[in-house]
Structure 1
Amino acid sequence: MDKTQTKFPTLSMYGIDVSKMNMQETVQYLTEAIQQKRTHQIITANPIMIMAALNNATFAKAMQSAELVVPDGTGLVWAANYVGQPVKERVPGFDLMFELLKVANEKQWKVYLLGTTTEVIQESSEKLKAQFPKVRFVGARDGFFSENEDMQVVEEIRKLSPDLLFVARSVSTQEPWIYKYKHQLDIPVMMGVGGTFDVIAGKLKRAPKWMQKLRLEWFYRLLQQPSRYKRMLDLPKFVFRVRKDRDIITQKR
């Protein structure tokens, strides 16, 4: 897809075009992309990913080249408001995946699940098959493979010709891997889903609705995974950076 032909409103956040569409508009847009067989990499962005892009050229390229970047993190929604370019609403990756699966169930699309451990991906696959019986889940495999095995994995997925590919790998690998191979994969919707499979499999719990409304989902996840605290330090750094660069960001409307 030629990004110059993007037909939805965006805001530019450090060279990354973030969609202003709400959930309903996003799902409709991606439904049309699948029906038209247009290749899309979907990134569910948050402040930690923006900070990673500022410090890593490879990661930045993956984010800048994505056909659709949605505002997943509450910090990104805050930043959009702060620079006077508000998005319609937060579009959580977890919810977006399930909204797409609802459409896939209606249209009997093919879905491939990739990432995390063998145990988690298989458990997730079984639960999703039960919840969405008309979706054609054509394959699932873990995300622990080396760079030397990449093309074998890509070829296995490509032969199955899924309409949607959901990928859960490490932060440093997930988006760059999709970016590197998206044209060989030639799948309409390829989306990184982070820890979503862990939640589906019951290994992690999602924050209660009241915490989501208070924008404290990040805190709930930190309580479950204290090892994430180093990554969380990027949140105040992001706020400081946006405050400092407000005029620069605003000028790039």
Structure 2
Amino acid sequence: MTCGRRVNILGVNVDVGYDVAGVMEKVETVLLQDGSHYICTTNPEFIMSAQNDPEFKDMINSADMSLPDGAGVVMADYYLRKMSEVGKNRAVRFFAGLGAGLETASGSFSKSMKFAPKITGVRLSEEIFKFSADKGYSVFLLGGMVRDWKGKPSESKSRDIAIQTAEKIRREYPGINIVGASSAFSFREEDDERTLTYIKECMSRTGDEVLDFILVAYGHKKQEAWIRRNLGKIPCRIGIGVGGTFDYLSGVSKKPGDKITQFNLEWLFRLCTQPWRLSRIVTAFPLFPIKVFLSSLK
């Protein structure tokens, strides 16, 4: 297990340095505490969105854990640690920043350079399922959306991606207590009552008075806002926003291969397989590293 530390990237807190074992140890500690808690899987898009959205920034910074979901975040951490050793002269910082930036970028293709571990929503979810199956914790899957090749919601009503994911997880982890799953409800506040009623009906059927985990896949901002509004009303101990995780776990979308992940080229994989994500990919690269570089010169 590795030791973690909380860093600040463009005003957003991120807990870096944890490997999966360290994260799950923290998760188990949080489960034993009173009340409801939530975890953010923070990627470059989260950090960029938070620049112009104080409420969203507060959601991330108030989370019990804000995990680095993606290479861009851990590379920014590495770069900023390098820059923390540089003096305050702006000219010196400019050239030092260029050098540190090139070193950081080249690290994507070098096994010798060690960035902090990245903890993606998919990886965290898989660990939550394994952990829950082993320890007897309860899980609910909420949200997710099947999209066509243009990125628009599919007209097929028969493909509930949360249910597909739950069925696959039950096969992989026999005995896991998945209390329920549904993609039938929206993230909107006016739909909260219907959603909560359904969740509580599922809990009543399984005899669970409290949920241990709810994984919410409504996309960034929306899922965090939903969790913040509703977690205590369920009640649920830990809520986690997982973005497009159900797409990959259900098999609707292909996961990046090991080599792509090793060289931190997930952004290129998504650009090729999901071209409708172009604006989001551009936000993560190159806009995010450019903003980190410029902020480091101050």
TM-score, normalised to structure 2's length? 0.75
Unaligned 5+ runs, structure 2: 83-113, 146-158, 204-209
| Structure-1 residue corresponding to 2:189 | 147
| Structure-2 residue corresponding to 1:222 | 271
Instruction: After TM superposition, give the deviation of residue 106 of structure 1 in Å.
Output: 0.7
Alignment of 1:152-191 (within 5 A): 152-157=194-199, 160=203, 161-191=210-240
SS in 1 for 2:118: coil
TM-score, normalised to structure 1's length? 0.88
Question: For structure 1, which segment, 171-180 or 42-51, has the greater mean C-alpha deviation from structure 2 after superposition?
Answer: 171-180
Distance of 1:8 and 1:151 partners within structure 2: 38
SS in 2 for 1:95: helix
| Structure-1 residue corresponding to 2:125 | 97
Instruction: After TM superposition, give the deviation of residue 143 of structure 1 in Å.
Output: 5.3
| Structure-1 residue corresponding to 2:153 | none
Alignment of 1:1-253 (within 5 A): 9-20=5-16, 21-37=18-34, 39-84=36-81, 88-117=116-145, 119-142=160-183, 144-145=185-186, 146-157=188-199, 160=203, 161-235=210-284, 236-246=286-296
Q: Deviations over 1:88-146 (max 9, x none)?
A: 31112211111121111111111000002452111111111111112111111115424
Instruction: After TM superposition, give the deviation of residue 163 of structure 1 in Å.
Output: 0.6
Distance of 1:241 and 1:227 partners within structure 2: 23
> What percent identity do the matched residue pairs reach?
29
Unaligned 5+ runs, structure 1: 1-6, 249-253
Instruction: After TM superposition, give the deviation of residue 47 of structure 1 in Å.
Output: 0.7
Q: CA RMSD in A?
A: 2.1
Distance of 1:241 and 1:149 partners within structure 2: 37
- Cα 1:8–1:200 change in 2 (3 A) is closer
> 1:53·1:60 contact (CA, 8 Å) conserved in 2?
yes
Question: For structure 1, which segment, 72-81 or 182-191, has the greater mean C-alpha deviation from structure 2 after superposition?
Answer: 182-191
For residue 166 of structure 2, what is the amino acid of its counterpart? S
